[in-house]
Structures are given as structure tokens and as C-alpha cells.
Amino acid sequence: MSIYSIYFSPTGGTEKVCDIISATFSKDYKAIELIAAEDDFASVKLTQDDIAIIGGPVYGGRIPGVAMERLEQISGGGAKAVLVAVYGNRAYDDALMELKDGSVRAGFVPVAGIAANAEHSIARTIAAGRPDKDDEVVLKEFVEKIKEKIAKGETGLEVPGNSHDERRKDSAMPIMVTEDCNECGSCVDECPTRAIPSDAPNTTDAEKCMGCMRCISICPNEARCLPKERIEGATQMLMKACPDRSNNELFL
């Protein structure tokens, strides 16, 4: 039996949550990142003896279409799946249902769903520093309960949210690039949708950009950003709509 941690994590929050969960199953887990557009996801094949932790970030209450498209290229082979929707303190709406539907299409057998919190990748002061020590304790308790369910051989799973016929249409963000860009090219290689041209890395192709914030978070010169008003507006809205710390939730 192998433990797989399969995630799409542009700014690292989903990865941190999946790492905590996967390492609680076994220190010896295999990470499959769904970030690089060129990777051959169809060559990843699991078996019914395996357990997969499948994580995606919540965008507008759903999982990014790019992430679902890559996940569904993998062959689940009957592996048991722990679904993890990672959100920035507001809401996860249909994200767990979308992960459930997509993982079943890919041949996984969902056994548990987790809605977990991580720092908001647009408004970074929202849920800043999460997942934190308290989250870690809760997530580890969740894993113990999931292990009990698996040991009993139970597999059914109900999660909240609506199903969708179409994948989410991801859309661009108004990314700005300042004079601090020295054209190092890091963002060109790291962009999950290849929206940054190698011959002009101080630009962004809005047709291809999925608004994931990865280029902003990885730029070594902090040359990429959103307009200040955009971040401030989002922060105000989120603080008003969800002033309290959101809890992590487990579905079995």
C-alpha cells in the first residue's frame, strides 16, 4: 500500500494542509503536484490498495478548472481518496462536491472529505499563517478518525455542495509587473498555465492567466503584484463577510 498526496497548490497553502494529512498517514508518502503544465499526469496510476489525499484550493466556491482537468487524467484504480478543499476563511461552497465527482470519474473511491483553512492567497492578512499549530492538531485528529473508517472497510461519503456539469472557467487577475523585474524567468517556469511569455516575462497573457497568484508569491524580486485597491477591497469585503476564524471540518 502506498500513500499519495495529490494536490494543486499555486501559493503553498493546499500543499501545507495535504502534507500534514499525508504525513499523519505515513511519513513515507509520494507527492504528485498538479502544477506543471507539461507533466504527464496520465502516467500516474494507483491501485485499490493505495490511499490518496487529493487537495485543491477553493476559488469562488469551486476547484479551479485547470486542477480538475489534471486530476482527472490520473488513474485512481480504486484507491481510497481523502478529499481536501482548502479555503481562505470565507467558504468552500461546492468545492468538496466537485472533488468528489472528479475523483470518482478518475477511478478513486472517496472515503472522507476535509474542508481546511489556509492563508488567503489574494488578501494575505486573512487567515494569515494558517494552517497553524491549532489546525495541525485538528487535522491529525481527523486522520485518526479516517483511519478507523478505512480499517472497518467503510467507503460511502456524503459531502455538502452542488455538482456542476462544466469545470470552473478560471479567469485572469490584473497582475502588474514593476521595474523591479530583472527578467530572471522564474515566473515563466512556475506559471501553471504558461501565461508568462519567456521573451517578455514582465508581461502576462490575460487569455491564459487563471488568476492563481503563484507568480506573485514566487517572484524573488517582489516585482509582481495586484493593484493595491484590489487587495484592500477584497480584504475589507472578507473581514466584513467572515469576521471570525473558520473551523476545519471532517466528513465521513
Residues 6+ apart with CB under 8 A from 85: 55, 56, 58, 63, 92, 95, 96, 99, 113, 114, 115, 116
196 makes contact with ligand SF4 (CB under 6 A): yes
User: Binders of ligand SF4 among 16-45, rule CB under 6 A?
Assistant: none
Question: 55 with 18: CB under 8 angstroms?
Answer: yes
Amino acid in position 64:
P
Least Cα distance to 65 among 114, 98, 89, 31 occurs for 98
Tell me if 186 contacts ligand SF4 by CB under 6 A. yes
Q: Applying CB under 6 A, does 214 fall inside the site for ligand SF4?
A: yes
- Residue 182 as a binder of ligand SF4 (CB under 6 A): the answer is yes
Residues 6+ apart with CB under 8 A from 218: 186, 187, 190
User: Is 57 in a helix, a strand, or coil?
Assistant: strand
Question: Which CB, 200 or 237, lies closer to ligand FMN?
Answer: 237
Which residues are near ligand FMN by CB under 6 A? 9-14, 57-61, 86-91, 118-122, 211-213
**Contacted entry of ligand FMN, ligand SF4, none for residue 57, CB cut-off 5 to 8 Å set by kind:** ligand FMN
By CB under 6 A, is residue 181 in contact with ligand SF4?
yes
Which residues in this chain contact ligand SF4 in the complex, by CB under 6 A?
173, 175, 177, 181-187, 191-193, 195-196, 201-202, 204, 209-215, 219, 221, 223-224
